[in-house]
Structure 1
């Protein structure tokens, strides 16, 4: 009897599950693209030229909201740092993570979101390079071959980008490389069973360390940013709401990414990730109306095709 009722209820349960997953994916997309667009608006269009301070706000928000989600709401079980060595490894990851986020935010001051996303799509190339250098593991030659269109696409997109800015491009490449380095380092540093942390617990420990790294950098490189922010707030209080909303969204990007990873397969996640970049490009062009050339779009399309081929090659050679 119980079996029959379970079977009878399964289509409804399946539909609810699908709706829940769709809701998660929509939340992941909107928070991810929302942070990108708000960062671009604040750093470029609004003229708040303080990417390190902005990153520090994001990290402070991630620290507080991670603690609330894990310690109070019990979204995931709390995992503790077992040793000083593990703490030092997390600190090293945090430093690389800071570098990637700050460089990404700096690049948004100079480059349109669409081009920023095109360069960001080359992450698999840098991941493969760092994995090759830092670990003994080698991929099949066909996997490395698929990285050719990934890089070629970005070279074509760079040549056809009307708003190309060399410093912004270097920062964007730096951010992409640092993101890849962090994922490879994470695999190496936290590989033993006793040291593995899920992404939410890793963020809980990494974010406050990042704030500690970013505070002196902000004081030295972006002096009097708090005074400038207060002066801006007196003229237009909306800047405070922008910063608060933007910082909260930065945490939700991580939270929804974790939940989507948990509720879908790795392959689905890769497909969704590739599509997310394309959606971000279209949305940013519609909002900021930055000029786009046909060459640039062809280059970006080639990169995305390369990333899809790379994912397929990796999956087949596992």
Structure 2
């Protein structure tokens, strides 16, 4: 018994260590991509303010690498998917993903890293609101009150922002809305049909769709400007390493959610946001005001409460699932006992 207890505790410790490792990898890569994108797009730093082009470079790299892994090296099996399912499910998700990335990257031109992270705290509000609108979630007054508290915290943070830019805020809020809609649609269009995409197959199907949907705005918005800038040369070191980081982050997201849970990722996201705010203030020298911090602390408490509520709901669901199983086991035992008793009585009567 002692050996089994020791083995069990070792297994639990290993699971905890792996979970923290996945969280640490995701935080590191997410942190790196955000800071790297800010460096490339910011006019005061690398000064290459072309967010659509940057997103297209990422998607081209991800598409090519995913294609090689799926079709050439056969490292991953492709998902059986009809053309109708691809057009009706994957294409809308891909378009929303491309819009989310485009607007999110665009916001780095106008806003500080710390303020963007504060605005991203509105993600649970957007996911819940869209979920209710699409009848995916039930409206609950206490949850809505929680959403209002998060929104109020973000509003206070925005009020205290030293480098407030309305256009940048609109871009980031648009990115949050598109990303929230994408997350809800993944549940409705793919997961409900039993289709689970792993990191590679997800990029294999979604990345080319993102690339194609970004081509249209790129031709009208950025291509004419890039054509005029004849002095521009493609920096393979900067854009190559940036694309590798973006690809690795996509893998880390699916790895973290697959090996732990979406809830763990939400909690890890809060830790990452605080690290980015500290980095933005101490290294990049962005101004973080006391009002900023008060607002974000309020939003952070709201998000923490939301995550706690989700965890309690998941535990309640698991308990409900286990209850019928326990009842079935109990019924089985009673049936066995009764059969045993009846067999015993038969034996007595035969004697």
Query: Where on the TM-score scale, by shorter chain, does this alignment land: which range?
Result: 0.7 to 0.9
- Output one character per residue of 1:169-192: Cα deviation in whole Å (capped at 9) or x when no partner: 000000011110101111112244
CA distance in 1, matches of 2:229, 2:27: 29
CA distance in 2, matches of 1:180, 1:137: 13
Secondary structure at 2:66's aligned position in 1? helix
- Contact 2:67/2:204 (<8 A) preserved: yes
- Output one character per residue of 1:203-235: Cα deviation in whole Å (capped at 9) or x when no partner: 2211011111112322221125665787343xx
Offset at residue 295 of structure 1 (A): 0.3
Where does 1:152-301 land on structure 2 (aligned, <5 Å)? 152-198=152-198, 200-224=200-224, 231-233=231-233, 239-301=235-297
Secondary structure at 1:146's aligned position in 2? helix
Bigger Rg over Cα: 2
**TM-score, scaled to structure 1:** 0.88
- Contact 2:162/2:289 (<8 A) preserved: yes
Offset at residue 104 of structure 1 (A): 0.4
Offset at residue 199 of structure 1 (A): 5.0
Secondary structure at 2:208's aligned position in 1? helix
Unaligned runs of 5+ in 2: 315-351
CA distance in 2, matches of 1:277, 1:129: 22
What residue is the counterpart of 2:145 in the other structure? 145
What residue is the counterpart of 1:128 in the other structure? 128
Distance 1:88 1:296, change over 3 A: same
Secondary structure at 1:254's aligned position in 2? helix
Secondary structure at 1:231's aligned position in 2? coil
CA distance in 1, matches of 2:125, 2:6: 47
RMSD: 2.6
What residue is the counterpart of 1:115 in the other structure? 115
- Output one character per residue of 1:126-149: Cα deviation in whole Å (capped at 9) or x when no partner: 111111111253143222221122
Unaligned runs of 5+ in 1: none
Task: Tell me, yes or no, if structure 1 residue 308 matches structure 2 residue 300.
Answer: no
Distance 1:211 1:304, change over 3 A: same
- Contact 1:86/1:195 (<8 A) preserved: no
User: What is the aligned counterpart of 2:36 among 35, 38, 43?
Assistant: 38
Distance 1:306 1:7, change over 3 A: closer
